Copies of this chain bind each other. A is one copy, B any other.
Amino acid sequence: MAGPHTLGTDGLIPVVTQETGSGRVLTVAWINREALQQTAATGEAHYWSRSRKKLWHKGEESGHVQKVKAVRLDCDADVLLFEVEQVGGIACHTGRHSCFFQELRNGNWVEVDPVLKDPKAIYGKQDGKQAD
């Protein structure tokens, strides 16, 4: 497939992942050419994990995969948008629906969305932070 035309100097561009139907922005992650090709080939979102420096099949540990319904590209061809069905209804490693659960209210960041499932139960270990 053609493009994205502009991959960053590290070969990565951001990808916004939005839930079909609800329109909720679930995550922002990073992607390279290989991860985009895997996404297109499998129909499930693949990203590049900057912390683990490897290809990341979203939901590979949790089962909370993202079924990709559409892939869009922005005007500058350097940001992607995935429209997905979020299996399990949980995209965030904290056990919440969306990673964007903190809202600015009167100058403070307030957690406004509930934890739907304990990360320990999702990932089966103490440190949910490393898991996806």
A interface residues (Cβ-Cβ under 8 A, vs B): 1-3, 14, 16, 18, 22-25, 27-28, 40, 70-77, 79, 81, 92-94, 96, 99-104, 107-109
Contacts and interface: CB of A to CB of B under 8 A. Distances in A.
Contacts of A104: 1, 40, 70-73
Given A99-B74, A100-B74, A104-B72, A28 B16 contact: yes
B103 A71 contact: yes
Contacts of A75: 92-94, 96, 99, 101-102
7 contacts: A1-B109, A18-B25, A22-B23, A25-B81, A40-B104, A75-B99, A81-B100
A72 B109 CA distance: 8
A51 B41 CA distance: 34
